[in-house]
Amino acid sequence: MSILDGVADEALEDFGDDFEDGTLTVPGGRVSDDQGGWINTNPVNHPCKVLLTDYSDYRRITLGIPATDRQVLVLGASLPAGVIPAKGHKITAPDPAKGLASTTLDVIAKTGDPASALYKLQAR
């Protein structure tokens, strides 16, 4: 037993109502596009709890984050077991800048905590 056991479930219980309903789209298999590239097939959608935010100007300048990138927070326990957001996935989340209309973004990078309670996605 670890001190981290159950932290993700507790985070979902405590903060789940504060997050919005979103979708993580994980690409399926890949087939050739007959032009030297690949096409992802059979994507799988996973409902999850998300919060779409903007980076502060300080973080953008310090870390070199482009102005077009957004930060998406995902509660880890809201995803099925074994599903972890990664570069190349897509995330759909209500966008406060657009009156909570859904926006789909490409995941560029991911950070998280040791308990996998919260994933921070850099999305474009």
Q: What is the pLDDT of residues 90-121, one digit of tens each?
A: 999 999 989 999 999 999 999 988 889 999 99
User: How much is the pLDDT for 103?
Assistant: 96
Q: What is the CATH number of domain 7-123?
A: 2.40.10.270
User: How much is the pLDDT for 13?
Assistant: 85
**Residue 10 CB-half CA count within 13 A:** 6
| Vertex 2: Cα angle to 81 and 80 (nearest 5) | 5
19 backbone φψ class: left, alpha, beta (φ>0; ψ -120 to 50):
beta
Beta-carbon neighbour count of residue 18 at 10 Å? 9
Domain ranges of the chain: 7-123
For the full predicted model, state whether its pTM sits above 0.75.
yes
Look at the chain and count its residues: 124
End-to-end CA distance of the chain: 38
The 10s digit of each residue's pLDDT in 43-65 is 999 999 999 999 999 999 999 99
User: How much is the pLDDT for 46?
Assistant: 97
